[in-house]
Amino acid sequence: MGDWGRAEYLARQGIRDRRVLAAIANLNRADFVPAHERDVAYRDVPLPIGYGQTISQPYVVALMSEALQLRGGERVLEIGTGSGYQTAVLALLAREVFTVEIVPELARPARRLLHRLGFTNVYFREGDGARGWPEGAPYDAIIATAAPPEIPRELLRQLKHGGRMVIPVGAVDQAQELLRIRRGQPGLLPQVERLLPVRFVPMTGQVAPVN
């Protein structure tokens, strides 16, 4: 299945955002996986990328991207650059993407690849994603590709009032849920929407939960 074929497949699976489908179609997932995985890059499955990390299956990438409800003018914070695939999708959907990766051996090749592919609206940081990127806050949207045991307080603090965060939450050895969290106006509690059960690698670093 080529990438245009994958977009058609994702549409049949319920992805409706045409911009998300176009972004998926215009990227070659094989560019973002290790050489020995490229012959299976077109399958709708997660794949290992080394250092205990994975590239998410295309359906989950599309669903999370759609759930952010991006229209093109947003500033997005991504926690977990990984191989850069989700980052590239976001870069096609938003004005600016700030991405943080804690594993240098993944962060550096992802940066080189995205530069080679011509992305100029992505900013990179190596470090603890649980701390976010405070200097760039507030963000219109935040996405995490690793699961903390609870919603991280620091990430919620960096989200604009009215902004959306899509994040898997739950311990790695327990049930995890993909959540969409809308930060309320000052004085109001965030709204939490459960999207589907998932299994992600754990978020490492100093995760402080929302009280």
**Positive or negative: CA dihedral 182, 188, 189, 191:** negative
Annotated catalytic residues are: 56
Tokens 């507030």 sit on residue: 138
Tokens 């991504």 sit on residue: 78
For residue 130, what are the contacts with CB-CB under 8 A and spacing of at least 6?
79, 148, 152, 154, 155, 203, 204, 205, 206, 207, 208
